[in-house]
Amino acid sequence: MTAASADKLAVEVWRGGATGRFQTFHVARSANQTVLDVVTNIQREQDATLAYRFACRVGMCGSCAMTVNGRPRWTCRTRVAAALASATALRLEPLRNFTVVRDLAVDMRAFFDKWQAAKGHFEPAAQPPDDFAIVPPTSSQRQAADAGIECIGCGICHSACDVVTWNPDYLGPAALNRAWTLVNDVRDQGNAARMDAVSAGSGCHLCHTHMNCTEFCPKGLAPTYAIAGLKRAMVARALGRAP
Amino acid sequence: MTAALFIAQRLSAAVLAFAVAVHLATIIYAARAGMTAADVLARTHGNKAFLILYLVFVVAVAVHAPIGLRNVLREWTAWRGHSLNVALAAFALLLLALGLRAAVAVFVA
Amino acid sequence: MMRASHRHPGFVAALLHRLSGLALAMFLPLHFLALGLALNGAAPLDAFLAVTRHPVVKAAEWGLVVALATHMTLGLRVLAIEFLPWRDRTAATVTSCLGAAFLVGLLLLLNGA
């Protein structure tokens, strides 16, 4: 990696698509700067052709996710000092396991297609129920759903997952985590199809508990345990009991 | 993997947890007592408890190892599909045949 | 050497579990063949076992026992995560698994393996 001088940070940025090269920029250091500050500076002050994504800037939308020095991170919530650790330069790449659109922007469609394939959407009954569902917040099912419900679909877990890298058909931690929240939603009526989807060839049983997803989720979620729940449900179903 | 293979893998793992614990304890015991091969065979000769343990052990291994190998090969090489399944089924049969032979061998030796 | 996104206990556990499993899978047919020699009486087995007194073979045997213990303890961790409502403190759990496996190895080493 190219060394930085005392007041300038060296930043190696991926340019291109699936093939391309790293281009080095130098950005003035400032106290508490985030990686988003750095990449925005490059695009606005040095090279307007750089493609990257952000929206809220405050860690709520997940749009700014990319690979920073080998780790999938939200750039708005990653301080340069923390990302660098003992490295001398910042290295910015698009998220692994996604098709690159250009530079640091990736195509999220396959990610959301897997969400649908895992039946990660609420399935209402054909007829509305007679009365409101009673869902005690302290019930074990609601607690299981609540543990995973804050996912905003940023794609970091999918990017971190080795099984997705090795087997691109694998539904992945985000889709399976969402499926688990719905399995635990007592109002949902779509569990038969959902369990079929997550028990199929590309389903939950492919997870090897590497726990990259849990390690890197910026919301502190633990897809590993959601997927474990799906595995138990899959086994119970196979042995003839209700999921 | 399919759901069925996953379940077989985990069930055989549970069986193996017990069998391997016994096996490791036996190995350490034998090493501690300075037993030779002849000493070990003297203990397993005609020993129905060990025979049953080893038969169960072999069947569990013949299920567990090929399924694990299948995952590794599918994920770390380009090999998948029908030919992989056939090869691993053959490996399972090999383990079963050699293993049962070994279990019987130490029983009759 | 290891990719930055892999430097955490869960991945190390999974990698060790996989590598130990591979080593054991490759070793098992040989193990069964060697034991099967007992069918022909003590002499062929003893002749074969003379080979195993070589220090490199003894070291490999020790390695395989440690591999077996490692594969078992890390496998028990996977079963606990998947089938018990257990949220592991990953670093501590993995360390305990590997510690137990090396304890087995140490016991074997100290007892004249």
Same structural domain, A126 and A229: yes
Question: For residue A20, what is the domain's CATH number?
Answer: 3.10.20.30
Rounded to whole angstroms, the Cα distance separating A144 from C87 reads 12
Q: What is the pLDDT of residue C86?
A: 72
Q: Which of residues A85 and C1 earns the better pLDDT score? A: A85
- Which residues, other chains included, contact C112 with Cβ-Cβ below 8 Å and sequence gap of 6+? B31, B32, B34
Q: Last residue of a domain, which of A83, A106, A129?
A: A106
Nearest CB partner across the interface for C10, out of A71, A210, A228? A210
Neighbours of chain C (3+ CB pairs under 8 A): A, B
Q: What is the pLDDT of residue C55?
A: 87
Over the stretch B84-104, which tens digit does the pLDDT of each residue have?
999 999 999 999 999 999 999
Please tell me the total count of domains within chain A: 2
Those of residues 24-53 in B touching chain A at CB distance below 8 A are: none
By C-alpha distance, the chain A residue nearest B80 is A167
- Percentage of chain C exceeding pLDDT 90: 42
Q: Last residue of a domain, which of A74, A106, A138?
A: A106
Q: Last residue of a domain, which of A88, A106, A124?
A: A106
Same structural domain, A115 and A233: yes
Nearest Cα neighbor of A141 from C85, C87, C79 is C85
Reported ipTM: 0.91
Same structural domain, A75 and A34: yes
pLDDT class for C28, splitting at 50, 70, 90? very high
Q: Given an 8 Å threshold on Cβ–Cβ distance, is A71 in contact with C6? A: no
Same structural domain, A148 and A188: yes
Q: Has residue A34 been placed in a domain?
A: yes
Over the stretch C77-96, which tens digit does the pLDDT of each residue have?
999 999 987 776 787 888 88
Provide the b/e sequence for A203-235 (b: ≥16 CB within 10 Å).
bbbbbbbbbbbbbbbbeebbbbbbbbbbbbbbb
Q: What is the pLDDT of residue A241?
A: 62
B14 and chain A: CB distance < 8 Å anywhere?
Answer: no
**Mean pLDDT of each 10-residue bin along chain A, 243 residues long:** 69 96 96 96 97 96 96 96 92 97 97 97 88 92 96 97 96 98 94 96 95 96 96 92 50
Length of chain A: 243
Nearest Cα neighbor of A223 from A236, A235, A234, A209 is A209
Q: Please compute Rg for chain A using Cα positions.
A: 21
A57 and chain B: CB distance < 8 Å anywhere?
Answer: no
pLDDT class for B38, splitting at 50, 70, 90? confident
B81 and chain A: CB distance < 8 Å anywhere?
Answer: no
**CATH number, domain C12-110:** 1.20.1300.10
Domain boundary assignment for chain C = 12-110
Rounded to whole angstroms, the Cα distance separating C60 from C66 reads 10
Stretch B52-75: mean pLDDT:
96
Q: Has residue A2 been placed in a domain?
A: no
Q: Has residue A125 been placed in a domain?
A: yes
Question: For residue A135, what is the domain's CATH number?
Answer: 1.10.1060.10
Nearest Cα neighbor of A84 from A1, A7, A20 is A1
Q: Counting one residue from A and one from B, how many pairs have CB atoms under 8 Å apart?
A: 27
Residue tagged 């929240």 (tokens): A181
Q: Has residue A189 been placed in a domain?
A: yes
CA distance B74 to chain A (A): 8
Domain boundary assignment for chain B = 3-108
At A102 the three-state DSSP class reads strand
**Which of C15, C28, C31, C110 best tests the B interface by mutation, with the highest count of B CBs <10 A?**
C28
Same structural domain, A200 and A121: yes
Same structural domain, A153 and A212: yes
* Domain of residue A122, residue span: 108-238
Pairing of strands A8-16, A20-28: antiparallel
Q: Is the pTM of this model over 0.90?
A: yes
Listing DSSP states for C40-66 in one string gives G-HHHHHHHHHHTTSHHHHHHHHHHHH
Q: Counting one residue from A and one from C, how many pairs have CB atoms under 8 Å apart?
A: 48
A194 and chain B: CB distance < 8 Å anywhere?
Answer: no
Same structural domain, A119 and A204: yes
By C-alpha distance, the chain A residue nearest B1 is A201
Neighbours of chain A (3+ CB pairs under 8 A): B, C
Q: Given an 8 Å threshold on Cβ–Cβ distance, is C82 in contact with A70? A: no
CA distance B4 to chain C (A): 16
Q: What is the pLDDT of residue C112?
A: 63
- Percentage of chain B exceeding pLDDT 70: 99
